[in-house]
Amino acid sequence: MYIRRTTKTHKGKTYDNYLLVESIHTRNGPRQRTICSLGSLSPGPAEQWHSLALRVKDSLEGQLWFEPVTPQIDTLVEKVQRGRKSGPAASDRILAVDTDRVTTEEFREAGPVHVGHQLWRQLGLDEILSRAGLSDPERASSARR
Protein backbone atom coordinates (compact mmCIF):
# COMPACT_ATOMS: atom_id res chain seq x y z
CA MET A 1 0.00 0.00 0.00
CA TYR A 2 1.06 3.52 -0.56
CA ILE A 3 -0.33 7.04 -0.54
CA ARG A 4 -0.81 8.86 -3.84
CA ARG A 5 -1.32 12.58 -4.08
CA THR A 6 -3.67 13.85 -6.79
CA THR A 7 -4.20 17.46 -7.74
CA LYS A 8 -7.25 18.86 -9.51
CA THR A 9 -8.08 22.39 -10.55
CA HIS A 10 -11.69 23.53 -10.54
CA LYS A 11 -12.71 27.09 -11.37
CA GLY A 12 -9.16 28.31 -10.94
CA LYS A 13 -8.71 26.77 -7.50
CA THR A 14 -6.32 23.86 -6.93
CA TYR A 15 -7.36 20.97 -4.68
CA ASP A 16 -5.07 18.28 -3.29
CA ASN A 17 -6.51 14.85 -2.57
CA TYR A 18 -4.69 11.90 -1.04
CA LEU A 19 -5.54 8.30 -1.96
CA LEU A 20 -4.59 5.10 -0.17
CA VAL A 21 -3.65 2.76 -3.02
CA GLU A 22 -2.48 -0.85 -3.26
CA SER A 23 -0.79 -2.68 -6.11
CA ILE A 24 -2.49 -5.87 -7.26
CA HIS A 25 -1.58 -8.48 -9.85
CA THR A 26 -4.11 -9.23 -12.57
CA ARG A 27 -4.06 -11.29 -15.76
CA ASN A 28 -3.31 -8.05 -17.59
CA GLY A 29 -0.32 -7.26 -15.37
CA PRO A 30 0.07 -5.12 -12.27
CA ARG A 31 -2.65 -2.59 -11.52
CA GLN A 32 -3.30 -0.07 -8.78
CA ARG A 33 -6.52 -0.20 -6.80
CA THR A 34 -7.69 2.72 -4.72
CA ILE A 35 -8.61 1.56 -1.22
CA CYS A 36 -10.10 4.90 -0.25
CA SER A 37 -9.75 8.61 -0.60
CA LEU A 38 -8.16 10.29 2.39
CA GLY A 39 -9.51 13.63 1.23
CA SER A 40 -7.51 16.77 1.72
CA LEU A 41 -5.96 15.30 4.83
CA SER A 42 -2.26 15.94 4.48
CA PRO A 43 -0.52 12.72 5.53
CA GLY A 44 2.68 14.48 6.53
CA PRO A 45 6.02 14.69 4.72
CA ALA A 46 6.16 12.71 1.47
CA GLU A 47 9.22 10.77 2.72
CA GLN A 48 7.04 9.21 5.44
CA TRP A 49 4.07 8.25 3.23
CA HIS A 50 5.31 4.71 2.54
CA SER A 51 5.83 3.87 6.21
CA LEU A 52 2.49 5.51 7.07
CA ALA A 53 0.70 3.42 4.42
CA LEU A 54 2.33 0.24 5.79
CA ARG A 55 1.27 1.15 9.33
CA VAL A 56 -2.31 1.71 8.15
CA LYS A 57 -2.26 -1.61 6.26
CA ASP A 58 -0.93 -3.45 9.31
CA SER A 59 -3.50 -1.81 11.58
CA LEU A 60 -6.29 -2.83 9.21
CA GLU A 61 -5.04 -6.42 9.32
CA GLY A 62 -4.92 -6.44 13.11
CA GLN A 63 -1.12 -6.35 13.33
CA LEU A 64 0.05 -4.96 16.64
CA TRP A 65 3.05 -2.66 17.05
CA PHE A 66 5.46 -2.17 19.92
CA GLU A 67 5.09 1.59 19.63
CA PRO A 68 1.65 3.08 20.26
CA VAL A 69 -0.39 3.88 17.15
CA THR A 70 -0.57 7.62 16.53
CA PRO A 71 -3.91 9.43 16.37
CA GLN A 72 -3.19 10.14 12.68
CA ILE A 73 -3.02 6.41 11.92
CA ASP A 74 -6.18 5.78 13.96
CA THR A 75 -7.96 8.46 11.91
CA LEU A 76 -6.76 6.93 8.64
CA VAL A 77 -7.74 3.40 9.68
CA GLU A 78 -11.24 4.55 10.65
CA LYS A 79 -11.58 6.42 7.36
CA VAL A 80 -10.42 3.40 5.37
CA GLN A 81 -12.79 1.06 7.22
CA ARG A 82 -15.72 3.39 6.51
CA GLY A 83 -14.82 3.66 2.84
CA ARG A 84 -13.97 0.01 2.29
CA LYS A 85 -15.98 -2.03 -0.14
CA SER A 86 -17.56 -5.29 0.94
CA GLY A 87 -15.22 -8.02 2.06
CA PRO A 88 -14.04 -9.54 5.29
CA ALA A 89 -13.06 -7.04 7.93
CA ALA A 90 -9.66 -7.37 9.53
CA SER A 91 -11.29 -8.57 12.75
CA ASP A 92 -12.93 -11.42 10.79
CA ARG A 93 -9.50 -12.65 9.72
CA ILE A 94 -7.96 -12.61 13.19
CA LEU A 95 -7.49 -16.08 14.57
CA ALA A 96 -7.19 -16.75 18.29
CA VAL A 97 -4.69 -19.45 19.22
CA ASP A 98 -4.74 -21.25 22.55
CA THR A 99 -1.00 -21.37 23.23
CA ASP A 100 -1.45 -23.96 25.99
CA ARG A 101 -2.66 -26.47 23.38
CA VAL A 102 0.10 -25.86 20.82
CA THR A 103 2.75 -28.55 20.54
CA THR A 104 5.91 -28.84 18.46
CA GLU A 105 7.38 -31.86 16.75
CA GLU A 106 10.82 -32.35 15.27
CA PHE A 107 11.81 -28.73 15.62
CA ARG A 108 15.29 -27.46 14.79
CA GLU A 109 17.16 -24.33 15.62
CA ALA A 110 17.63 -22.20 12.54
CA GLY A 111 20.39 -19.91 13.87
CA PRO A 112 23.28 -22.42 14.11
CA VAL A 113 22.33 -23.99 10.77
CA HIS A 114 22.30 -20.59 9.09
CA VAL A 115 25.66 -19.61 10.59
CA GLY A 116 27.18 -22.92 9.49
CA HIS A 117 25.83 -22.49 5.95
CA GLN A 118 27.21 -18.95 5.72
CA LEU A 119 30.63 -20.10 6.95
CA TRP A 120 30.57 -22.97 4.43
CA ARG A 121 29.92 -20.48 1.62
CA GLN A 122 32.40 -17.83 2.81
CA LEU A 123 35.21 -20.36 3.19
CA GLY A 124 34.46 -21.77 -0.26
CA LEU A 125 34.30 -25.33 1.06
CA ASP A 126 32.07 -26.47 -1.80
CA GLU A 127 34.69 -25.43 -4.35
CA ILE A 128 37.52 -26.97 -2.30
CA LEU A 129 35.68 -30.31 -2.06
CA SER A 130 34.90 -30.15 -5.79
CA ARG A 131 38.61 -29.70 -6.60
CA ALA A 132 39.36 -32.61 -4.26
CA GLY A 133 37.23 -34.81 -6.52
CA LEU A 134 34.00 -35.15 -4.54
CA SER A 135 30.84 -35.47 -6.59
CA ASP A 136 27.78 -33.21 -6.16
CA PRO A 137 25.90 -35.74 -3.97
CA GLU A 138 29.01 -36.29 -1.81
CA ARG A 139 29.50 -32.52 -1.34
CA ALA A 140 25.80 -32.09 -0.51
CA SER A 141 26.08 -34.90 2.03
CA SER A 142 29.15 -33.24 3.60
CA ALA A 143 27.32 -29.93 3.84
CA ARG A 144 24.47 -31.52 5.85
CA ARG A 145 26.69 -33.03 8.52
DSSP conformation letters of the chain: -EEEEEEEEETTEEEEEEEEEEEEEETTEEEEEEEEEEET---S-GGGHHHHHHHHHHHHTT---SSPPPHHHHHHHHHHHHH--SS--HHHH-----GGG----S---HHHHHHHHHHHHHHTHHHHHHHTT--HHHHHHHHH-
Tell me which residue of 91, 67, 94 sits closest to 77, measured CA to CA.
Answer: 91
Q: How far apart are the first and last CA of the chain?
A: 43
Contact of 70 with 100, CB cutoff 8 Å:
no
pLDDT of residue 83: 60
pLDDT of residue 11: 92
Alpha-carbon span 36 to 24, nearest angstrom: 15
Alpha-carbon span 59 to 30, nearest angstrom: 24
Contact of 120 with 139, CB cutoff 8 Å:
no
pTM above 0.85, yes or no: no
Q: With a cut of 50, list the residues of the chain below it in pLDDT.
A: 86, 90
